Chains A and B, each alone.
Chain A
Amino acid sequence: MATRFDALMARRGEIMRRALGMDYDEFELSPIAFDYERMMTAHGYSLDDIVGIQTKAGVGNTPLLELRNLTDLVRSISEPGKGARIFVKDEAANLAGAFKDRRASVSIHVAREKGYEGVIAATSGNYGAAVASQAARNGLKCIICQETFDSRHVGQPEIVEKGRVCESYGAEVVQMTVGPELFFHMVELLDETGYFAASLYSSFGVSGIETLGLELAREMTALTGAPPTHVVVTHAGGGNTTGTARGLKRAGATATEIVSASVDLSGLHMASDTDFNRKSFTTGHTGFGVPFATWPDRADVPRNAARPLRYLDRYLTVTQGEVFYVTEAMAKLEGLERGPAGNTAMTAAVSLARDLPREATVVVQETEYTGAGKHHWSQLNFAREMGVEVRAGDPKDNVPGKVIVIPERLEQIEARDFDVARMRTSYVRNALKNAPGGYAPTAGDIAFLAADTNTDAATVEAIIASLKEA
């Protein structure tokens, strides 16, 4: 017998078509390929239009700051001639305190233009605050669905704070225990209300991040005479990497290396009731970063606009303790008290800059607001309460969910390279697996997979051959 879950999921396509206000079928080319660029531009907004929408929304044009103290400290631990200049785009200066405002501003503009009465998003992160804030400005109703509590009703403090801020912007916040059925209830609510689905992964949202890449290319050119040599991006679902990289390209910064960075949460299960409160980061971690990069279309839209393997050159991981150390250092050295999750890329940048020549320029492209619950002290006190050991030492001894090791010295911070070639193989495996059984990829499919993995046809064919052997 079909459960309520199955019955709703059978109608999911039809509900989402109405809620997204667009039919993704028109972009499909084959059981594997779709026209990504056509999907990204189908909304009809130019980059200038988006800049205009965001200016009205109180979003964008955030300060680009050079971090002279951090740069000199990194140089103090680098080999002679090394230690790149480090900059940060202070995205916490956006209306609701994070780069997510860029995403939400475009989605909410679209929802209003299309005449929806309200918007719904499933998010436990800053995106909820961004959607709620923009909905308030546009007179739209707003429901945010959050995974907040474990089965004992103990809330992750960062998510509880995010719920508070959404409510302060007038949103209805639906809080749940751990489980992917959050998306099931979101679809149920979309069906019940007829509201717009402000998905994190729609082309509206990801297009909204392109302005960040555009701004930082122009601002770095004005400041240093050239676009940055490296941009480091805190990486979760992949939208931040995708949108920023697209914006850089549109600004002509084609030589800039795109470095994604996530907190290593390997070994923790994202749907586990017991692991849930044993992690101190609710975003920017490998628990989202790896599965979404290797299969983007697991998202709540038929085709995900966030496709980070198209754009990233390197993927670095750092530990929770390293990020907490750098978060503390940023406040004390640079006067920037910001949220830890947004400092994930900053932590990777410290490690990266140490190995680059002094002439190189590294831009960390976001910060996020902080406060009770989100603050690194809140998170560390909570981790202790949940039985996680917190101690000073060598971050190499970090064990996600068990031990958070806070470095004793700056030179102990060392980002690790995640194997991008392995991620590409995994992505191709998933793309083939999701096509109907026995389907043989065409030349067009190979070209699509090459673009989606930032490789070439020969590489994709070699991956497919290796998968057949295995």
Chain B
Amino acid sequence: MNDDIRAREGDWVEVECRLLDPADRSKNLPPETAEKPLMMWVKGFAQGEAGRGEELTVETMTGRRVTGVLSAVSPGYYITYGDPIPELTHVGRDLRRRLAEWRRAEGGER
């Protein structure tokens, strides 16, 4: 990730906010959650200029104004499918073969 990002007025950006400090969080959380702050990310149009980690207000798609620190400019989506799963690649071949054999033995498709 590029560390010297800079948002200009009107850019589509993402800001990060600390919504609740650990001390203010809900009771009865498991310790690994309770010791962390509750963080939030919101996207919107920059209302001014800022660099990464600097305070910035955005106007969201619904027109709300949210202030946080700049975490991304033009935030994208990097989800993928990834590699084929070796434990699954044979499934289609095997099941089709098995179905064909069974139908031959039963005298054809219903």
* A→B interface (CB under 8 Å): 3-5, 68-69, 72-73, 75-76, 118, 141-143, 148-149, 151, 153, 157, 160-161, 164, 167, 170-181, 184-185, 192-193, 269, 271-274, 324-325, 328-329, 331-333, 372-373, 375-378, 380-382, 390-392, 406, 410
Given known A-B contacts A172-B62, A184-B26, A149 and B39 have beta carbons under 8 A apart: yes
* Docked CA distance A290–B37 (Å): 28
The reply on B83 being an interface residue by CB < 8 A is: yes
Task: With both chains docked as a complex, state the minimum distance between the C-beta of A378 and any C-beta of chain B, in angstroms.
Answer: 5
* Docked CA distance A167–B39 (Å): 20
Tell me whether B102 and A180 are in contact (CB under 8 A). no
* Docked CA distance A329–B97 (Å): 12
The residues of A that contact B26 with a CB separation of less than 8 Å are 5, 179-181, 184
Tell me whether A271 and B91 are in contact (CB under 8 A). no
Tell me whether B29 and A391 are in contact (CB under 8 A). no
The 7 closest A-B pairs by CB, nearest first: A332-B92, A381-B82, A373-B79, A76-B102, A406-B87, A172-B61, A151-B36
* Docked CA distance A118–B32 (Å): 35
User: Which residue of chain B is the closest to A5 with respect to CB atoms?
Assistant: B24
Tell me whether B61 and A328 are in contact (CB under 8 A). no
Task: With both chains docked as a complex, state the minimum distance between the C-beta of A127 and any C-beta of chain B, in angstroms.
Answer: 18
* B→A interface (CB under 8 Å): 19-20, 24-26, 29-30, 32-33, 36-44, 60-64, 77, 79-85, 87-88, 91-92, 95-96, 98-99, 102-103, 106, 109-110
Out of B37, B63, B87, name the residue touching A141 (CB < 8 Å): B63
Tell me whether A269 and B30 are in contact (CB under 8 A). yes
Tell me whether A118 and B39 are in contact (CB under 8 A). no
Out of A72, A151, A269, A406, name the residue touching B39 (CB < 8 Å): A151
Given known A-B contacts A5-B26, A160-B79, A406 and B38 have beta carbons under 8 A apart: no
Tell me whether A406 and B98 are in contact (CB under 8 A). no
The residues of A that contact B44 with a CB separation of less than 8 Å are 172
Task: With both chains docked as a complex, state the minimum distance between the C-beta of B109 and any C-beta of chain A, in angstroms.
Answer: 7
Tell me whether A329 and B79 are in contact (CB under 8 A). no
Listed A/B pairs (13) with beta-carbon separation below 8 Å: A72-B102, A118-B62, A148-B41, A160-B79, A172-B62, A174-B42, A179-B38, A181-B20, A193-B62, A378-B81, A380-B85, A381-B83, A390-B85
Between A118, A172, A179, A377, the greatest number of chain B beta carbons within 10 A of the residue's beta carbon is seen for A179
Out of B43, B91, B99, name the residue touching A325 (CB < 8 Å): B91
Out of A149, A175, A269, A410, name the residue touching B95 (CB < 8 Å): A410
Task: With both chains docked as a complex, state the minimum distance between the C-beta of A219 and any C-beta of chain B, in angstroms.
Answer: 20
The residues of A that contact B109 with a CB separation of less than 8 Å are 68, 72
User: Which residue of chain A is the closest to B40 with respect to CB atoms?
Assistant: A176
